[in-house]
Amino acid sequence: MPSTVAIDYEVAVIGAGPYGLSAAAQLKASGISTRVFGDPMSFWERHMPVGMFLRSNWTATQIADPNRLLTLEAYQAATGNYLPAGSGTSSRPVPLDSFIQYGRWYQREAVPDLDQRKVARVETNGEGFRITIEDRDVVRARRVVVAVGIAAFAWRPPEFEGLPRWLASHTSEHRDFRKFSGRRVLVIGGGQSALESAALLHESGAETEVAARSSTIHWLHGWASRTLHHNLGPIVRKVLYAPTDVGPAGISQLMARPDLLRRLPRWLQDRLRERAVRPAGASWLVNRLRDVPIRLGRRVICVETSGEGLKVRLDDRSERFVDHVLLGTGYRMDISKYDFIAPELLRSIRCFNGYPCLQEGLETSVPGLHILGAPAAWSFGPLMQFVSGTHYASRTLTRRIVEDGGQ
């Protein structure tokens, strides 16, 4: 006789960032018994620097909720914490701290019963999953939704691998750059994270230089884009740009429709994705970086310790003696780094280049196991890397579970 295992919840959501919270809100609104684990907005609070601004615009910074009651506007009205006038525009971006406060308010409203403990293990268990919490408590759920973000994927290029963190660190390891005041820091990378970190370091009194492999920095909302916007008028602008704010004119509309994007040939999806999320800096960084030297088209070929600091050789044979190298080298997806997923379960998830291959409802090849957020980008496009993807993800996930008879 097959053993039947009691189920505590229909769904366990692991993660309390924008994806986990919005999925939980939608599932609960559909009457599905859901348990949510995670420290609310912890990635934004612990792995992004004080003084940072969001790159996405106002509409793309709204965390999805089923009744559109938990918007940034509603947050301001309910709490009296008004964001600076004009926030979310290309001239006045949303401050990081305001977004964290908004996310926390969203959590209190939509998921007041959040369990802030960490999940230590997920394994299959009869008809569902056995979830072991850090203090060894166990919960059983028919489905698991993994929404734990990208913190595990911070990329350190191999040439920096053997160096101690106090000499070479990733941007995600810092909350406050003021500790670098008066020190020489070389920032590696040409995307938003590298450039904004360089601006913050410079403003904190560090002697800052940037080295990037690309031969040019792509500035968002630069001259060409502003001219196009200005000449288009609101209607044509709406036709070319989706409110999700991912990708340039035209491509933006396709990125906003993952179900359509998925039908295109793989090579075309990859080309569009590359174009939509190529490394780029927000236009409001241009002035802040005016006095920071930026070396373009340069690779690091050798790094070694030298006295208390580092000697870095670039491929033009020039050398730098610095106190610290800051790696603005982004994130590389590899879900095997989600160390709470049991090895046997991990082996059953069909993957490509570290990304899970997902089906409708963001479900992995293991029935009942879903992965949301950036790892879903290979299957559902780059929208999944941004807060604005929570609208699509939470709806498609819930639809899948409801159609399957979830209670």
* Contact flag: residue 148 with ligand FAD (CB under 6 A): yes
Cα gap 281→112, rounded to integer Å: 36
Long-range pairs of 303-312 with CB within 8 A, sequence gap ≥ 24: 303/159, 303/160, 303/163, 303/168, 305/163, 305/167, 309/167, 309/184, 310/163, 310/167, 310/168, 310/186, 312/186
* Contact flag: residue 55 with ligand FAD (CB under 6 A): yes
Residue 363 has which token pair?
């479900």
Residue 168 has which token pair?
């070479």
Residue 362 has which token pair?
């963001």
* Contact flag: residue 54 with ligand FAD (CB under 6 A): yes
In the complex, the smallest distance separating the C-beta of residue 235 from ligand FAD, rounded to whole angstroms, is 26
Which of 9, 12, 19, 335 touches ligand FAD by CB under 6 A? 19
In the complex, the smallest distance separating the C-beta of residue 299 from ligand FAD, rounded to whole angstroms, is 23
65: left (phi over 0), alpha (psi -120 to 50) or beta: beta
Task: Please report, as residue ranges, which positions from 276 to 335 form the binding site for ligand FAD (by CB under 6 A).
Answer: none
* Contact flag: residue 183 with ligand FAD (CB under 6 A): no
Which of 13, 24, 147, 201 touches ligand FAD by CB under 6 A? 147
Which of 292, 387, 397, 401 touches ligand FAD by CB under 6 A? 387
In the complex, the smallest distance separating the C-beta of residue 315 from ligand FAD, rounded to whole angstroms, is 27
Cα gap 15→371, rounded to integer Å: 11
* Contact flag: residue 256 with ligand FAD (CB under 6 A): no
Helix (H) or strand (E) holding 401: helix 390-403
With tokens 């989600």, the residue in question is: 338
Which of 9, 37, 284, 380 touches ligand FAD by CB under 6 A? 37
Considering the complex, state which of residue 18 and residue 190 has its C-beta at the smaller distance from ligand FAD: 18
Which of 12, 15, 62, 329 touches ligand FAD by CB under 6 A? 15
Cα gap 94→57, rounded to integer Å: 8
The answer for residues whose C-beta is within 8 angstroms of residue 218's C-beta and 6 or more apart is: 278, 279, 280, 281
Considering the complex, state which of residue 128 and residue 375 has its C-beta at the smaller distance from ligand FAD: 375
Contact 49, 175 (CB under 8 A): yes
Nearest Cα to Cα of residue 330 among 152, 123, 131, 171 = 171
Considering the complex, state which of residue 52 and residue 310 has its C-beta at the smaller distance from ligand FAD: 52
Residue at 25: amino acid letter: A
Name the segment binding ligand FAD (CB under 6 A); options: 42-50, 236-244, 303-311, 315-323.
42-50
Strand partners, 115: 37
Name the segment binding ligand FAD (CB under 6 A); options: 8-16, 67-75, 207-215, 264-272.
8-16
* Contact flag: residue 177 with ligand FAD (CB under 6 A): no
Task: Please report, as residue ranges, which positions from 204 to 223 form the binding site for ligand FAD (by CB under 6 A).
Answer: none
Residue 258 has which token pair?
């993952």
In the complex, the smallest distance separating the C-beta of residue 233 from ligand FAD, rounded to whole angstroms, is 27
In the complex, the smallest distance separating the C-beta of residue 65 from ligand FAD, rounded to whole angstroms, is 14
* Contact flag: residue 43 with ligand FAD (CB under 6 A): yes
* Contact flag: residue 378 with ligand FAD (CB under 6 A): no
* Contact flag: residue 38 with ligand FAD (CB under 6 A): yes
Name the segment binding ligand FAD (CB under 6 A); options: 143-151, 178-186, 260-268, 396-404.
143-151
Which of 11, 13, 14, 366 touches ligand FAD by CB under 6 A? 14
Cα gap 133→364, rounded to integer Å: 22
For helices 72-79 and 96-110, what crossing angle results, to 10°?
A: 80
Considering the complex, state which of residue 105 and residue 320 has its C-beta at the smaller distance from ligand FAD: 105
In whole angstroms, how far apart are CA 309 and each of 185, 199, 240, 322? 10, 22, 49, 6
In the complex, the smallest distance separating the C-beta of residue 373 from ligand FAD, rounded to whole angstroms, is 3
Q: Which residues of 216-245 are buried (b: 16+ CB within 10 A; e: fewer)?
A: ebebbbeeeeeeebeeeeeeeeeebbbebb
Considering the complex, state which of residue 325 and residue 383 has its C-beta at the smaller distance from ligand FAD: 383
Q: Give me the sign of the Cα torsion angle 62, 255, 151, 284.
A: negative
Which of 42, 71, 394, 398 touches ligand FAD by CB under 6 A? 42
* Contact flag: residue 356 with ligand FAD (CB under 6 A): no
Using CB under 6 A, list all residues that contact ligand FAD. 14-20, 37-40, 42-44, 48, 54-56, 118-119, 147-151, 193, 340, 373, 386-388
